[in-house]
Amino acid sequence: MPSVRSRAAPPRARRRAGEIIDAAASVFAERGYHGASTQDIADVLGIRQASLYYYFGSKEEALEQVCMLGVEGFVERATAIVHAPGTATDRIRALVAVHLAPLGDRRDYVRVFLRERGHLPDVARRRVGRLSRRLERLIEEVFTAGVASGELRADLDPRLATLAMLGMCNAVPAWLPVETGLSIEAVAQALATVLLDGARGRADARRTLRRPR
Amino acid sequence: MPSVRSRAAPPRARRRAGEIIDAAASVFAERGYHGASTQDIADVLGIRQASLYYYFGSKEEALEQVCMLGVEGFVERATAIVHAPGTATDRIRALVAVHLAPLGDRRDYVRVFLRERGHLPDVARRRVGRLSRRLERLIEEVFTAGVASGELRADLDPRLATLAMLGMCNAVPAWLPVETGLSIEAVAQALATVLLDGARGRADARRTLRRPR
Amino acid sequence: MPSVRSRAAPPRARRRAGEIIDAAASVFAERGYHGASTQDIADVLGIRQASLYYYFGSKEEALEQVCMLGVEGFVERATAIVHAPGTATDRIRALVAVHLAPLGDRRDYVRVFLRERGHLPDVARRRVGRLSRRLERLIEEVFTAGVASGELRADLDPRLATLAMLGMCNAVPAWLPVETGLSIEAVAQALATVLLDGARGRADARRTLRRPR
Amino acid sequence: MPSVRSRAAPPRARRRAGEIIDAAASVFAERGYHGASTQDIADVLGIRQASLYYYFGSKEEALEQVCMLGVEGFVERATAIVHAPGTATDRIRALVAVHLAPLGDRRDYVRVFLRERGHLPDVARRRVGRLSRRLERLIEEVFTAGVASGELRADLDPRLATLAMLGMCNAVPAWLPVETGLSIEAVAQALATVLLDGARGRADARRTLRRPR
DNA sequence: CATGAATGAGCATTCATTCAT
DNA sequence: GATGAATGAATGCTCATTCAT
């Protein structure tokens, strides 16, 4: 099951097509979908605006491709984690890590997915929306299971915890390029800890943590 | 050859002007700044598009007004909280509450501030950016103080905690209208608890909480 | 025969109306008819744009009034000169003087008449055009008479001489405010001499002029 | 966040581009810069208004191009004449001739330069203004030299003579299309004679001229 | 692969004008 | 006398898109 819509192969050159979508992603990320013109994309590539239409059929289609590449893999990876053995705590840490991982090499794609998917035409928006909701449900399941097993607070609202986690994680691409000095992995670690144990930390955890530091 | 046309500044009726930017806020929130046309705003108001220009000088100016009303008061309220007596925990709870409060009557303004301020012209963007940064610094101070006093985890990165908190809170307007059944105050309570004690909760807190539920 | 179109007197206040047309003349002179907005005129007066319409019915009407005040009197004065006794030389000197005289207190009106009358609506343009042509014909008559009497060069084309004179004179308002150090009367003297005797001067005149200088 | 959008500058087809500013020149000459709409220009060409923007970036830029083509060559030709050997009289005759020559094939460009250059944006206006002033200075030099050599009247003000000459010449495009029966060269001859010897003519010249006529 | 040329639709903005107050 | 509010019509300009080459 190919993640990117397979078409009649040629005459669309695969290699160059990737550069074109890269450019689109970067421009959409920078200026927003409606704030970016196809001319802006062409400028990045050093080609004429009309030439873009050799690679995509419309600006909306370009947005759709970028968005799909922005979510692609998220659900698969989350599914694997949720179905793997381990405590809720382990799974949540892994989900956070995997959620932030693509910021390394796909930041623009992810940012565009997060902020611009709302401008997709109806059909595509719903397609993309289904993926998002599936992902949210997977995360929510982990919280629900954690509460049920007594591993997480009994009064935790799993829906709200999910949204808190997504809020924390999805904000990262907005400040990551600016706030320096931290690797993506370190950020994931720290955020997962806040999510699990809070700013005050668990009483037992604090005892362990205080000394070595 | 007058250098700058200083005209007598039409005294923009206060009452109606409020309705006009209300409409602008709602349209910008719905479709994004660049995705919204001034015609869309006029349609909401049931007036002609040209009539808008009696109330604002340009679409950009309208965005600026909406953004300013979106941050207005945030810094003041945060400052009051930070300087009030109490534990870091109290202050953080109060900050979260106060951060979410305007979502009741000003959701559109806040959403526009959060998502569209990047499209403001340079001067205005910097002005608005200064406010944001001041707010972030206030929040960070609270975390720093909490760590120093031993109330918060010694290994907590105050900068990161701030960004986590802002991520959690700023995501709320995106789902609040959809996810029903919770008052803003309840959301604030729950998010503050996650932020302070995590999904697992503090060992002592859990004992108290488990029973009544 | 009233020079300005007489109307039912009130409610048009005479005094203030003069100031309004003054402002219009100055703005039209500065920026051209189509380059000037009614707002510009209102700015000069420190009133609201809508208030102008108390004084004139349309922008075009304002232009017409300005243009009429710009030619007003020209024909009458030229007629008087042409019919007065004296040599062609005297008459031409007097025509030049009288042609430039209004530049003192009515420069804007004259400039607008000269450069903007073409933008008048058909009826008004023709009315104004008739005045211009009458003036030209008066001047041409003087040249024709001068040639006939032998006072002017036999091979002089009166039509062309007229156009040369008008060209010289009508260019003056364009540079008068800039080129300093000369009164309007002095300019008129000098231009008339060039027109009559040329840059080289008449053989006899030169003899007279050279010494005293 | 690219500060200035440097785009690959469409290589504007030379041939067609010429026709486009031809049309612009004719429309600007006819109705004035502010009185002409880009639609008017498109109508002349039989293309859509938006298509114009393939050839120029803005209406102002079109005006600038027209103005530049309107002065282009003037200074060069005047310089050549001023530096050529010959009497002041010869030079002035040549300057007048060369000044009027472009009215044959470039009347619209010259008219636009003469009447509309004031509406150019600051930078362009100054650029164009420098050319004008250089031209005026060249002409003035000839008059100054002529006075110094005794060839012209001792009491001639070279500045004023320059302005008289320019006034006479620059008025020509306004009536040339209307007043028939004279070639541009004949007009140049006649005007130069008026400028040099006046309407009365020099005493010696008159003797020669009277008889044959 | 890519481009030059052109277009149709839409957009923000300006402007002269109106009219009840 | 003058104004606040609004409007209809245009204006300059942008933009996604098309298509023959």
For the segment 51-90 of chain B, residues whose CB is within 7 A of strand F: 51, 53-55
Taking only the tens place, the pLDDT of each residue in C143-179 is 999 999 999 999 999 999 999 999 999 999 999 876 6
Q: How confident is the model at residue D109 (pLDDT cuts 50, 70, 90)?
A: very high
What is the Cβ-side half-sphere exposure of residue B65, based on CA atoms within 13 angstroms? 18
Residue A133 is predicted with a pLDDT of 93
Domain limits, chain D: 11-59, 71-200
Asked if D1's CB is within 8 angstroms of A43's CB, the reply is no
- Bases of chain F within 7 A of a CB of the protein: 1-19
pLDDT tens digit sequence for D121-166: 999 999 999 999 999 999 999 999 999 999 999 999 999 999 999 9
- Report the percentage of chain D scoring pLDDT > 90: 78
How many angstroms separate the CA of residue A13 from the nearest CA in chain B? 32
- Stated pTM of the model: 0.87
DSSP conformational letter for B152? S
pLDDT digits (tens, 9 = 90+) for A152-174: 999 999 999 999 999 999 999 99
What digits encode the pLDDT tens for the residues C14-41?
A: 788 999 999 999 999 999 999 999 999 9
Q: Is the pLDDT of residue D99 over 50?
A: yes
b/e code C20-40 from CB counts within 10 Å (16+ = b): bbbbbbbbbbbbbbbbbebeb
pLDDT tens digits for C67-105?
A: 999 998 899 999 999 999 899 999 999 999 999 999 988
Does the pLDDT at position D12 exceed 50?
no
The one-digit pLDDT tens for each residue of chain B (213 residues) are: 333 444 444 444 568 899 999 999 999 999 999 999 999 999 999 999 999 999 999 999 999 999 999 998 899 999 999 999 899 999 999 999 999 999 988 999 999 999 999 999 999 999 999 999 999 999 999 999 999 999 999 999 999 999 999 999 999 999 887 666 789 999 999 999 999 999 887 766 554 444 343
What is the distance in angstroms measured between the alpha-carbon CA of D10 and the sugar C1' of E4?
8
Contact A186, B155 (CB under 8 A): no
C140, pLDDT greater than 60: yes
State the CATH class of domain B11-59. Answer: mainly alpha
Q: What's residue D3's pLDDT? A: 37
Residue whose C-alpha is closest to residue B26's, from B127, B147, B100, B110: B110
Q: Which nucleotide is nearest to C49 (CA to C1')?
A: F3
Task: Annotate B55-73 with b (16+ C-beta within 10 A) or e (fewer).
Answer: bbeebebbbbbbbbbbbee
Whole-angstrom distance, CA of residue A124 vs CA of residue D39 = 39
**How many Å is the Cα radius of gyration of chain A?**
20
Query: Which residues numbered 20-79 in chain A sit less than 7 A from strand E, measured from CB?
Result: 47-51, 53-54
Q: What pLDDT was estimated at residue B14?
A: 67
Q: Is the pLDDT of residue A42 over 70?
A: yes
pLDDT band at C1 (very low <50, low <70, confident <90, very high): very low
Whole-angstrom distance, CA of residue B101 vs CA of residue B78: 12
Q: Which of C26, C37, C48 to substitute to test the interface with B, most B CBs within 10 Å?
A: C48
In chain C, % helix, strand, coil (3-state, to 5) comes to 70, 0, 30
The percent of residues above 70 in pLDDT, for chain D, comes to 87
Maximal CA-CA distance, chain C: 64
Q: What is the mean pLDDT of residues A11-31?
A: 86
Residue A180 confidence (pLDDT): 64
Q: How far is CA C81 from CA A166, C88, C89, C137, C141, in A?
A: 93, 10, 12, 13, 12
pLDDT of residue C93: 96
Taking alpha carbons only, the member of C4, C55, C45 closest to residue C23 is C45
Closest CA to D9 of D64, D57, D50: D57
Q: How far is CA C19 from the centre of its chain?
A: 20
pLDDT of residue A199: 87
Q: What is the pLDDT of residue C126?
A: 94
More confident residue, C208 or A88: A88
Q: Is B183 on the interface with C (CB under 8 A)?
A: no
Q: Give the residue with greater pLDDT, B188 vs D6.
A: B188
Right CATH number for C71-200 from 3.40.50.1980, 1.10.645.10, 1.10.357.10, 3.40.50.2300? 1.10.357.10
With CB atoms and an 8 Å threshold, state whether C199 touches D200. Answer: no
Band of the pLDDT at C182, cuts 50, 70, 90? confident
